[in-house]
Amino acid sequence: LEVWSDQPGLQFYSGNFLSDIYGKSGAYYDKYSGFCLEPQKYPNSVNKSNFPNIFVTPDATYCHKMAYAFNTV
């Protein structure tokens, strides 16, 4: 998996809150059955003075770019 983004941070979600979920064709998902990489601004930026500003004013345009590539080894 390759991830490209213009965002400064990356949130990793481990799937530890998945529980007894059924997906397509009856696939069963339990804790840690998957993960997610989420490009984003730095979490908790509003409370950290040394982190970049994350606020977007109503008159500003917000653009967030990311791309994922899946390859086999």
Asked whether residue 64 carries a pLDDT value surpassing 90, the answer given is: yes
- Given this model, what pLDDT does residue 18 score? 84
pTM: 0.70
As to burial, measured by CB atoms within 10 angstroms (0-12 exposed, 13-18 middle, 19+ buried), residue 5 is middle
SS3 content of the chain, % helix, strand, coil (to 5): 10, 30, 60
Comparing 50 with 73, which gets the higher pLDDT? 50
Q: Where are the domains of the chain?
A: 2-69
Q: First-to-last CA distance in the chain?
A: 10
Q: For residue range 26-50, what is the model confidence (pLDDT) as tens digits?
A: 999 999 988 899 999 998 899 999 9
**How sure is the predictor about 19, in pLDDT bands with cuts at 50, 70 and 90?**
confident
Both tokens of 31, joined, read 């804790």
CB half-sphere exposure, 28, CA atoms < 13 A: 2
